[in-house]
Amino acid sequence: MICLSAYSQDGSYTSKNKQAVKHYTAAGQQLNKRQYDEAIIELQQAIKEDPDFIEAHIQLGDIFRLKRDFKPSAESYHKAISINAVFNRGVYLKLGEIEISLAQYHEAKQHLEKYLTYANLNQQSNAYAQKLLADCLFSIEALKHPVAFKPQNIGPEINSADDEYMPVATADESTLIFTRQISNNEDFYKSSKKDGKWQKATYLSTRINTPNYNEGAQSISQDGKYLFFTGCNRPDGRGKCDIYIAQKRGDDWGKPVGINPPVNTGAWESQPSISADGRTLYFVSNKAGGLGGYDIWKTTLTDNGWTEPENLGPSINTPFDEQSPFIHPDDNTLYFCSNGWPGMGNKDLFVSRLGKDGKWQKPENLGYPINSSGDENGLTLTANGNYAFFSSNNLQGLGGFDIYTFELPKNIRPLPVTYVKGHVNDALTNSPLEANIEIIDLEKNRIVYQDYSSEDDGEFLVTLTSGKNYGLNISKGGYLFYSENFSLIGREPKSPFNIQVSLSPIGVGKKVVLKNIFFDTNKFDLKPESKAELQKLAQFLNENPTIKIEISGHTDNVGNDEHNQTLSKNRAKAVYNYLVAGGTDAKRLLFKGYGKSQPIANNNTEEGRQQNRRTEFKILAK
């Protein structure tokens, strides 16, 4: 909506002063050469010669507006209106836009409503004025109901005299990666947290950072193994900006690889945000098929690569710009910035939640003073959803843009998320193992996460959203698998889960407790949530066709011994029947009930009794 053309109604100017017109004409010549400061001087001279030269005032307001020098721009437009209130109706639209940037919402509302009284407005201008008026109405109300916002500078270990922005943290908040701009070159830096404090930031990697190209707008996987980032004007790129992936190898990173089409194209692809399971990538593009200038898209990783990107549609995108997506590890809450949805002016931060129908709900503005009349973007959150990171150059920091953190108001927080962090090793040698890690939503019998523990140290990290019952399965060829259960239904864990998993090589006499086999109290019918674990056991037997096992049922010491003995036997038989029905040779299977006779924990506590109520299997023959 920037216009720098000359103004007159009938081919003549409102000024008859030849010197004023001469300066005005000279200003036009300077504008054609984009020499705006010189044009300002000429226009000021024209106004000095004739203070009532309306076109000169409007043109001066346009140039200041282009330079985002809003106060003198508004003054110039006001002067033009004071001389002749009906000379050019477009001045009211421009003045309303400027006053929003100055947080003068009541004044902007009046001028925009005046503009909308004119007849025969073109469709684009009318829609833009209506959008700005919606901003005014929202802002006037938002100022009456400020939200809690106490930003804290993250400190000199990360912030410097240079610009720092776009911070992202791993789920355990052990690592923060951000962009630092030095001499117009953007590179990644990292900081580690020790004893609750961020350490001095260091250069991320010479394999990712380059001296000649900009790297920025990054997203880190929850375990810190994969970095998705934007690289611009690189020789291996497909467009002006493309999305790249780098994998961490030991203490350094591997060579970045650009994502193939249909994700990267000849258009502008940037600002990636990867989901917690690593299989859905949100990003920004101005590619054809969008709803506005820059839209948010998503693509899904399949066995055949990344799928054709899907526009998030009108529930997120507008005819204007949506950028800086951040999908929280709950995979249900999306934060982004937009200048299309009603806000405080320019780009504001919004949150949208995934509805039960699988569609994104109407975005909610994060509120004032998180949002202001300026640009807000680049918001990221901790995995627990309590705190957010952002950058600003308006808070008297250590340099230009600094990184800040603040506690997020509860009504705009995501679903509670915790994480499981563990190490996998060989039970005999204690050497780290690269093992298959799976998290299963037991209610839906659906794998929600699949990856491998680190080959270097056996470490893995997986996020879990509250409100679900999860099964964890860790497996590796030649070893007994490991299972664990994390029930987060009806409760929020107070702290993350840290586990040490020792996988035992397959051997006679070795046992595995099947922690995701479930029965109702005093019953032996397998509950539906047991299906995933049963399938894992069947898969293990298929992959090891010579193995024979005993399936055993166990109880605690509560109740009648005879009843417990029968119950444990019937539960073991239920597992046996499932495996045989699924095609496992019955000759490879035995089942037995042990009642209370083989406790693995003290029966004096509920926790101990719960551990004793179990189903397990033992290797009888290899």
Helix/strand/coil (H/E/C) assignment for every residue in 553-590: EECCCCCCHHHHHHHHHHHHHHHHHHHHHCCCCHHHEE
Nearest to 423 by CA among 462, 452, 458: 458
Angle of CA points 147, 148, 154, to nearest 5°: 130
CB 534 within 8 A of CB 442: no
Closest CA to 555 of 523, 517, 598: 598
Strand 548-554 and strand 589-593: the pairing is parallel
What's the pTM?
0.90
Query: Which pairing describes strands 241-249 and 214-220: parallel, antiparallel, or unpaired?
Result: unpaired
Residues of the chain with CATH 1.25.40.10: 18-142
CA gap 517, 442 in Å, rounded: 10
The CATH number for 18-142, chosen from 1.10.3720.10, 1.25.40.10, 1.10.150.170, 3.40.50.300, is 1.25.40.10
Q: Taking a C-beta distance cutoff of 8 angstroms, is the pair 475, 498 a contact?
A: no
CATH code 2.60.40.1120 region(s) in the chain: 416-505
Q: What share of the chain is helix, strand, coil (3-state, %, to 5)?
A: 25, 30, 45
E strand spans, 382-490: 387-392, 402-407, 417-426, 436-441, 446-452, 459-465, 469-475, 482-487
CA pair distance 151, 420, nearest whole angstrom: 29
Residues in the chain: 622
- The residue type found at 8 is S
Sign of CA dihedral 153, 154, 159, 165: negative
Residue 110, Cβ density class (10 Å: 0-12 exposed, 13-18 middle, ≥19 buried): middle
Contact 471, 439 (CB under 8 A): yes
List, run by run, the mean pLDDT of 10-residue segments along the chain (622 residues).
50 90 96 96 97 97 96 98 96 98 97 97 95 98 97 95 94 94 93 95 95 92 95 91 94 94 96 95 96 96 95 97 96 96 95 95 97 91 94 82 94 93 96 96 91 93 91 96 90 82 97 96 94 96 97 95 96 98 97 96 94 97 94
568: its two tokens: 């444990």
For the domain covering 152-408, report its CATH number: 2.120.10.30
Task: For domain 507-622, give its CATH number from 3.40.50.720, 3.30.420.40, 3.30.1330.60, 3.40.50.2300.
Answer: 3.30.1330.60
CB 355 within 8 A of CB 382: no
If we measure between CA atoms, which residue out of 382, 326, 370, 391 comes closest to residue 164? 391
CATH 3.30.1330.60 residue ranges of the chain are 507-622
Backbone angles phi, psi at 11, to 5 degrees: 90, -10
The dotted CATH code for 416-505 is 2.60.40.1120
CA distance 41 to 465: 60
Which residues of the chain does CATH 2.120.10.30 include?
Answer: 152-408
